[in-house]
Structure 1
Amino acid sequence: MCVDEVNPQAVDETELAIEGALRPTSLAEFIGQPKVRGQLQLLLDAARIQERPADHILLAGPPGLGKTTLAMIVAHESGRPLRLSSGPAIQHAGDLAALLSSLQPGEVLFIDEIHRMARSAEEMLYLAMEDFRIDIMVGKGAGATSIPLDLAPFTLVGATTRSGMLPNPLRDRFGFTAHLEYYDPAELERVVERSAIVLGVELSARARAEIARRSRGTPRIANRLLRRVRDYLLVHGGAGTDVAAVGAALELYDVDPIGLDRLDRAVLDILIRRFGGGPVGLGTLSVTVGEEADTIESVVEPYLVRIGLMGRTPRGRVATPEAYAHLGVAPAHATGTLDMDDL
């Protein structure tokens, strides 16, 4: 087939099918998070015995740990349909009212990044979660009236990467809050093993361990790296058990042996070579790297701090001795510039 004869829609559907196949469909298939799985299983079993919708669930934790997958599992194991939405898409109370009023009895509503909802929508959600009712304002000014609208009972599953940004009244209305933790290497190896079977990639235990080691404790990253390894083996051939091929594939995509990517290393390199290891303010660091401060703070910094390559102090960010060792730079006294606006 010629290149211009390829159907982009068919390609997209294939990718979506692969993504769907990589997601487990039950708590028994879900790898990792044993405490959360046990808590969810109890909650769902109790709801099933009482023949009622499950309590509202808040899933909190870093990106890529399986919050969306768990929401899909809640709906699947409850035998209920699932409605998907997101906080940024609900910017007016009317958006939420239209969504809630269209729910069927017992339906599971999943709102991703729920902390990014508009404040007016959050306030409407309080009453909906507690009493399955919303108040619709009709008219303006002195003639405005409030009309109550009853809702079908539903289960709300909210996901957030920043639970601290949720107002207390909203957080308190969830019957159960699950805190997802980063995965250990052994759990990630099991994730890679399962996904490799789905993708039809033969990998040795050492190759799976190599991918898991570079996955930053995150299943989503493990699956993404596995797909790049699959592509490399497909193009270059060779045995799937070749650990060197796995290393070559990940090196091609700038993923080093401990999972740092190009931006991670750029931040450390500038922090050490330009600012003598710090301390340096986030604003100065982001301008020097040429990346948004939010990206550095939410994507780069958490992993560097977690693995001990960066520290946060009242005076700014600093590089640790381990960071110097990883980059192969001799330690030096901090001579960095501090952006006072970032203190």
Structure 2
Amino acid sequence: MARDGAAGEEAPVVSPTGDPEDRAVEAALRPKNLDDFVGQQRVRRQLSLVLEASRLRGRTADHVLLSGPPGLGKTTLAMIIAAEMNAPLRISSGPAIQHAGDLAAILSSLTDGEVLFLDEIHRMSRPAEEMLYMAMEDFRVDIIVGKGPGATAIPLDLPPFTLVGATTRAGLLPGPLRDRFGFTGHLEFYSTEELELVLRRSAMLMDMKVNSAAFSEVAGRSRGTPRIANRLLRRVRDWALVHGVDLIDARCAGAALDMYEVDAKGLDRLDRAVLTALITKFNGGPVGLSTLAIAVGEEPETVETVAEPYLVREGMLGRTPRGRIATRAAWDHLGLVMPANVAAAMPEDLFTVLPEGNGPEDNLAEDNSGITEWANTEG
């Protein structure tokens, strides 16, 4: 199993976030130009036009904002932008920039035409964001020297540069920052056919012998995410190496992924545990997030950020004003029959999108018996 950022914690093999091992392997598998980049046809065409126009004008490219779920290629596109513009690339992240001085140090060391990539840009501190406004628009920052009434602002001119920002939560970016990007591209989940192309290229680079059926098997369990697809392909490679298999077919790929508890729909142990708890312990729900997390032995944040997004996207779990609920698709996937009374009680607005982190289910209180009830939120 891959490890996540926290020491000693195991991350699911289908987690879209990357660990150091993933990043090292991905560096070798990443395409170097837009022609080799698979998928995201709309973003690729638009970005290609932006870069080509910048080259014809002999100027740096407009600032670029890339948004979308993790693992879809935002970092890869930032590297491609730098390569296409024949410019050096500087990489940092929003969490690493907690003070305006941190950003000023990075900006003041940029060279003419350099590409600055800021991952998770929405997590940058507010003072740094405000400094970035002027840097993006006027290529200038004001360095404050001293404190209080005696403080002095020293203007510092910056060389023209291209900022590439990446975010998994574009809604958290303030409007003034979004408006300063000349191009905004939203990355979508990949189709199975596109993932097969990604896997074919990766298998060739890793010198693997895989037939078409095996590519389809792995792609179908990859949650529409290239990072997960490449990770699963490496696990299949390990399985084949240990079992002495030269040509990997669908049976081998399926056996390898079954061993890692990734089923035909791409659900892993945690996903199935969430659905099983919802159905067997709470009769399909609704149930509050905290109660559900306790039932599966995980933290509420883990259930909400790791398992829930994919289950909602696959139509197996719904978020309602009274809590989480298992849909008919979840019952069917687990091979269970939904009782008639549960089906009749299924709300019509099951998939109404609730504000993230601010849904009514976040105001649920649990009494001592573990039964979820509405909390009084007046006042």
TM-score between the two structures when normalised by the length of structure 2? 0.84
The question of whether the paired residues in 1 share the 8 Å contact of 2:22 and 2:231 is answered with no
Counterpart amino acid of 1:109?
Answer: L
Match of 1:31 among 27, 31, 38: 38
Unaligned runs of 5+ in 1: 1-12
Corresponding residue SS for 1:127 = helix
Matches within 5 A, 1:124-273: 124-273=131-280
Counterpart amino acid of 2:83?
Answer: H
Matches within 5 A, 1:1-343: 18-332=25-339, 333=341, 337-338=371-372, 340=374
The question of whether the paired residues in 1 share the 8 Å contact of 2:240 and 2:248 is answered with no
Q: Deviations over 1:172-211 (max 9, x none)?
A: 1111110000000000011111100011111110000000
Deviation at 1:301, TM superposition (A): 1.3
The question of whether the paired residues in 2 share the 8 Å contact of 1:281 and 1:340 is answered with no
The whole-number CA distance in structure 2 between the counterparts of 1:119 and 1:210 is: 45
Corresponding residue SS for 1:195 = helix
The whole-number CA distance in structure 1 between the counterparts of 2:224 and 2:121 is: 23
Corresponding residue SS for 1:159 = strand
The 1:17–1:119 alpha-carbon spacing in structure 2 relative to 1, beyond 3 Å, is closer
The question of whether the paired residues in 1 share the 8 Å contact of 2:65 and 2:164 is answered with yes
Corresponding residue SS for 1:111 = strand
Question: Which residue of 1 is the match for residue 6 of structure 2?
Answer: none
The question of whether the paired residues in 2 share the 8 Å contact of 1:280 and 1:338 is answered with yes
Q: Deviations over 1:204-227 (max 9, x none)?
A: 100000000000000000000000
Unaligned runs of 5+ in 2: 1-19, 346-369
Corresponding residue SS for 1:88 = helix
Deviation at 1:289, TM superposition (A): 2.3
Counterpart amino acid of 2:117?
Answer: F
Corresponding residue SS for 2:290 = helix
Q: What is the count of residue pairs matched by the alignment?
A: 332
Deviation at 1:14, TM superposition (A): 9.9
Deviation at 1:19, TM superposition (A): 2.6
Counterpart amino acid of 2:27?
Answer: G
The 1:118–1:339 alpha-carbon spacing in structure 2 relative to 1, beyond 3 Å, is farther
The question of whether the paired residues in 2 share the 8 Å contact of 1:282 and 1:342 is answered with no
The 1:16–1:180 alpha-carbon spacing in structure 2 relative to 1, beyond 3 Å, is closer
TM-score between the two structures when normalised by the length of structure 1? 0.92
Deviation at 1:15, TM superposition (A): 7.8
The 1:16–1:261 alpha-carbon spacing in structure 2 relative to 1, beyond 3 Å, is closer
The whole-number CA distance in structure 2 between the counterparts of 1:342 and 1:17 is: 50
Deviation at 1:341, TM superposition (A): 5.9
Deviation at 1:330, TM superposition (A): 2.5
Q: Deviations over 1:96-135 (max 9, x none)?
A: 1101111111000000000111111111111111111111
The whole-number CA distance in structure 2 between the counterparts of 1:324 and 1:219 is: 28
Corresponding residue SS for 2:248 = coil
Q: Deviations over 1:143-197 (max 9, x none)?
A: 1111111111110000000000111111111111100000000000111111000
The whole-number CA distance in structure 1 between the counterparts of 2:154 and 2:111 is: 21
Corresponding residue SS for 2:278 = helix
Q: Deviations over 1:10-33 (max 9, x none)?
A: xxx998664322100010000000
The 1:72–1:325 alpha-carbon spacing in structure 2 relative to 1, beyond 3 Å, is same
The 1:226–1:78 alpha-carbon spacing in structure 2 relative to 1, beyond 3 Å, is same
The question of whether the paired residues in 1 share the 8 Å contact of 2:63 and 2:183 is answered with yes
Question: Which residue of 2 is the match for residue 3 of structure 1?
Answer: none
Corresponding residue SS for 1:104 = coil
Q: Which has the higher helix share?
A: 1
Corresponding residue SS for 1:137 = strand
The whole-number CA distance in structure 1 between the counterparts of 2:267 and 2:107 is: 42
Corresponding residue SS for 1:312 = strand
Deviation at 1:271, TM superposition (A): 1.2
Q: Deviations over 1:225-270 (max 9, x none)?
A: 0000000101101242332111111011110111001111111111
The whole-number CA distance in structure 1 between the counterparts of 2:178 and 2:371 is: 40
